[in-house]
Amino acid sequence: MASPFNMPDEFVQGFFKSGQSLLHAFTGMSDDAPASAGSTPVSALALAQAQAHYWQQQMALYMGMIASATGKTPEPTVQPERGDRRFSAEAWNNNAWYSLLKQTYLLNSRLLNDMVEAAGLGEKEKHKLRFYARQFIDSMSPANFAATNPDAMKTALETQGESVRAGFANLLEDLKRGRISITDETAFEVGRNVAVSKGSVVFENELFQLIQYAPLTDEVAERPLVIVPPCINKFYILDLQPENSFVRFACEQGQTVFLVSWRNPDANLGHITWDDYLEKGAIKAIEVGQAISGADKVNAVGWCVGGTILSSALAVLRARGDDPVESLTLLTTMLDFSDPGDLGVFIDEQGVSQREQTIGRGGIYSGGELGFVFQTLRANDLIWPYVVNNYLKGGAPQAFDLLYWNADGTNLPGPMYAWYLRNMYLENNLCKAGQLSMCGTPVDLGRIDMPSYVFGTQEDHIVPWRGAYRSTQLVGGETQFVLGASGHIAGVINPASKNKRSFWTDGTLGDDPEAWLATAKSQPGSWWTHWMNWLKPHAGKQIKAPKRAGNSKYKPIEPAPGRYVARHPPEVMGA
């Protein structure tokens, strides 16, 4: 199983290639590799300025240390960026040795970043270089090493070495597990204190179970809500606990909610394709939700890759002349992959071809490997704080429902994953009308002509908001774009009852997302209420809430959350 202890091939190869790129940029050396498109000679002036600034600051730091030896307290030469929590301990500021260590690290980090920016590389290569330089810089922080972390040293002394013993024990346990522990996984259990909304599984096939949730109002909307979550994690991010459950909120607003629970594929499902996720997945879920409710149409919601799957399925349905969906909601979804953000650093022809050759005709892409890739996008939040706490200080991670879900990774079928990489991330074919055939028919996103609510988040590191915005220009119906504060997960799971954060609406739609933002209005609180007000006109009339789940054809199979979402033991995850 891949993990921080066993990095994915793309990560290792990318690190190596980026190092080569930096070397070539500054030395002119070549391994007979063609220059990247848009590359330019290294900026000698920018490099000279970066070096001069570096030595000026080093001299200022040195003089400050001399002053501190005489009893004076010098102003810091360099400070961590706002929000950097690695150096919050008092010793980083009050102790001359640790202060020198911290400031030297920060100056070296900035010099390396300046060298990257001065490198004569094309934008795509430079993006990769920035990413891998950041990984190296983050990993070399003095806070990550016991001998140079004042808190770790203090804890070791106070506990007479017990923290060192506990940290080593934690490391051994995580090595067995194959990943860093980021939360107390014993504090939660699916169906006990997460994923607890009442409902029933009313349909299942080899790929997914469909959950129908129990109504929480006497009357419900005539048209139900069918939700397609991402297949790269479990669905219960939408139903963590009652106070932050999107599912519960929708039910409280009088919606009948059907939700797809994707199966965590093992070797027996190593043949599943992208088309299967459309035909046997999203299209089937819409069909069952429509049949059980008896409605003329359903309202559909897709999140992240679930939104890509749902949009692809709707394009197939419209190509067939079918029109079972009244409205479409896309949450942090990418349909145009021209700007994939940091995930793009892992995608190139060589890497995709390798995946096609190894698992493209059958096999499994490990959820642990995928989980590590996502952790590297925010290493200073999802890797290094836990290395410090768990191993250097011998601590235990706190219980946090969102991180429990984050650690509950899922595998992907190799054929589906390889096809997705090539046609979405590498070649960006989905947004080109008629370029792709799915389920035996050419597709055009422009034929998705129902009203759509497109939601992005300002700090999304997986689906950059400008990429999410691009969907408004691809689908054919009337669209509304809403931008939420925060990131890919916290921006979506922003309960209306807590009234936190903010969102932007009502900008002028067009080709330019910056023009939209410049004309948009900021609103305090959660976007959930705004979305519900948009949805209700598409939900149909009010009818009496059903007394039981399913119907004569689709009978309840088992209570929610169903066995497909059961948390597998670690040894099964990489099967």
Show the tokens assigned to 421: 């990489």
Are 446 and 474 contacting, i.e. CB atoms less than 8 angstroms apart?
yes
CB under 8 Å to 256, separation ≥6 — which residues? Answer: 212, 213, 215, 220, 221, 224, 225, 293, 545, 546
**Which of 402, 405, 398 lies closest to 567, judged by CA?**
405
Contacts (Cβ under 8 Å, ≥6 apart) of 209: 201, 203, 260, 261, 263, 557, 562, 563, 564, 565
DSSP code string of 239-252: SSSGGG-HHHHHHH
Q: Which helix (H) or strand (E) holds 209?
A: strand 208-213
Encoded tokens for 486: 């925060």
Q: Which value, to the nearest 10 degrees, does the dihedral of the CA atoms of residues 564, 567, 569, 572 take?
A: 30
The DSSP line for 87-127 is T-STHHHHSHHHHHHHHHHHHHHHHHHHHHHHS---HHHHH
d(CA 383, CA 395): 15
Nearest alpha-carbon partner for 278 in 312, 307, 325, 232: 312
For Cα atoms 459, 312, 10, give the angle at the middle one, nearest 5 degrees: 55
Set 231, 251, 304, 439: catalytic member: 304
**Ordered DSSP codes for 467-488:** HHHGGGGTSSS-EEEEEESS-T
List 331's β-bridge partners, or say none.
303, 455
Strands 364-365 and 325-331: unpaired
Beta pairing class for 441-442 and 452-457: unpaired
Burial 393-417 (b: 16+ CB within 10 A, else e): bbbebeeebbbbbbbbbbbbbbbbb
439 carries an active-site annotation: no
Phi, psi of 70 (to 5 degrees): -95, 5
User: What is the token pair recorded at 322?
Assistant: 């079918």
Cβ(478)–Cβ(498) below 8 Å: no
The span from the CA of 301 to the CA of 326, in Å, is 11
What is the crossing angle of helices 283-293 and 305-319, to 10°? 80
Report how far apart the first and last C-alpha atoms of the chain are (Å, whole number). 9
Q: Are 484 and 501 in contact (CB under 8 A)?
A: yes
What six digits make up the tokens of 105? 């690290």
Across 253-339, the runs of DSSP E, i.e. the strands, are 257-262, 298-303, 325-331
Burial of 125 (0-12, 13-18, 19+ CB in 10 A): buried
Residues with a catalytic annotation lie at 304
